[in-house]
Amino acid sequence: MNKLKLFSIIGLIAALVLTFSHTAYSAKQKKGGKMDNHEYVIHVSQNGKLLGDIYLKLKPEVAPNHVKRFEELVEKKFYDGCAFHRVIPGFMIQGGDPNSKSGARNTWGMGDGAMPKVNSEFNKTPHKRGILSAARTNDPNSFTCQFFICVADAAFLDNQYTVFGEVTKGMDIADKVVSSKRDAQDNPFDKISMIVEKTK
């Protein structure tokens, strides 16, 4: 092989490596030019007292449309003031319904029927303790805004609900939430509120 041909091959390989690296980097960038880690924090309060923080890492690689919806809502401060309106020990805590901001308690969990729905993105991620998943109606393609966090493994939900994130820190706070005294509809007697924001 002559030197000219060898240099051509090396140059081609270098160009391919640079192109791949640039594409991979660009895919991870935000509009602001920084790397997007898809990490969020839920500040949890009850009776005006901060219970603590639950940290989330979203999974756009398995549920891109669910992640997009969640992130859009957080950016609009949609979740701020919503409640964890359904808590079931040994199972999960659910929240994110706009009705729980100021609506009557008997409407909490019913959602806003006018919101556009997101189709299911079932994936192979199992519903283990700490998993963030999309709440929905009996229609698999009906996610709008509500979500739940598993406080225990729930394999019976696998391939039935869309996993789109996980808790990285703060499951002790989730355990406090699920242990709250609740009514017959599993709604805590004392409202448990959230503020959700992107981590710095």
> 130 is in which domain, residue-wise?
37-198
Q: Are residues 60 and 25 in the same domain?
A: no
Strands of the sheet with 84-88, listed across from one edge: 84-88, 92-95, 147-150, 131-134, 163-169, 49-58, 39-46, 192-198
Q: How many H-runs (helices) and E-runs (strands) does the chain carry?
A: 4, 8
Shared-domain flag, residues 115 and 177: yes
Q: Write the pLDDT tens digit of every residue in 15-55.
A: 443 333 334 433 444 545 556 899 999 999 999 899 999 99
Same structural domain, 113 and 192: yes
What radius of gyration, in Å, describes the C-alpha atoms of the chain?
21
Q: What average pLDDT does the chain have?
A: 88
Amino acid at 16: L
Domain count, the chain: 2
Cα separation, 125 vs 157, in Å, equals 11
Per residue in 159-187, pLDDT tens?
999 999 999 999 999 999 999 999 999 99
The pTM score is 0.83
The residues, any chain, with a CB within 8 Å of residue 53's CB and separated by 6 or more, are 41, 42, 43, 44, 169, 170, 173
The distance of Cα 70 from the centroid of its chain, to the nearest Å, equals 6
